Amino acid sequence: MINIAIDGPSGAGKSTVSRAVAKMLGYIYIDTGAMYRTLAYKALKLGIDISSETDRVDAMLSDTVLDIRHAEDGQHMFADGEDVTAFIRTPAVSMGASAISAIPAVRSWLLEMQRSFARENNCIMDGRDIGTVVLPDAGVKIFLTASSEARAKRRFDELKEKGEDVTFEAVLSDMIKRDEDDTNRACAPLAAAEDAVIVDSGDITFEQTVDKIIEIINNKVGR
């Protein structure tokens, strides 16, 4: 199987780019960030303070059924049979996902699920630690990044389009805070793998980013 790891900070465009590349190559797309978002959404819905009540998060895992289903419009996330895809992209869930992803028990709980997808499919998997921890032997590793301002602008536009009442300043502040949390956490911090190709999407279009990543993959796997 051919596995492609795409890592990078929040708002770099990993999900949309990875989804487009996977569709063009005929690969399965796995958004691992959505897994953490789904768990964070459930924890917040239960009133759990993710940062301080890790024991309640651990207990929640034993009573959680997480499922990924692929449809024409992309990957759908299910928690205990409920499609939560439409509810996991809010700022509150984003911060919750960053906090819950720092809990070792959560990462261990999801790790085998993520690796099983890679064993069974040609896949593109995106996240924070795919090339360094989840799929260290991936055939292609890419670290997709952009400045915090560029990433915040994209996220702000996305949230406004969905009707969210947010300000650019608040989105930028959350973005910077999440970068700090993801980079400095003790468990599987955000980092580019030593053999990853760095792609900066800040000054190029979405289409150019997709084309660049397709070119990198083709060169690496000899397509």
**Sorting pLDDT into bands at 50, 70 and 90, what band is 122?**
very high
Model confidence at 223: pLDDT above 80: no
User: In sequence order, what DSSP letters do the residues of 61-99 get, joined into one string?
Assistant: HTT--EEEEEETTEEEEEETTEE-GGGS-SHHHHHHHHH
Instruction: Tell me the C-alpha distance between 194 and 114, whole Å.
Output: 21
Q: Where are the domains of the chain?
A: 3-218
Q: Which residues pair with 127 in a beta bridge?
A: 7
Tell whether pTM > 0.85: no
Residue 223, Cα to own-chain centre: how many angstroms? 26
Structure tokens at 15: 């999900």
Instruction: Tell me the C-alpha distance between 98 and 35, whole Å.
Output: 11
**Sorting pLDDT into bands at 50, 70 and 90, what band is 186?**
confident
Q: If one looks up domain 3-218 in CATH, what number appears?
A: 3.40.50.300
Burial of 36 by CB count in 10 Å (0-12 exposed, 13-18 middle, 19+ buried)?
buried
Amino acid at 115: R
Question: How do residues 129-155 score in pLDDT, each as one tens digit?
Answer: 899 999 999 999 999 999 999 999 988
Instruction: Tell me the C-alpha distance between 176 and 155, whole Å.
Output: 12
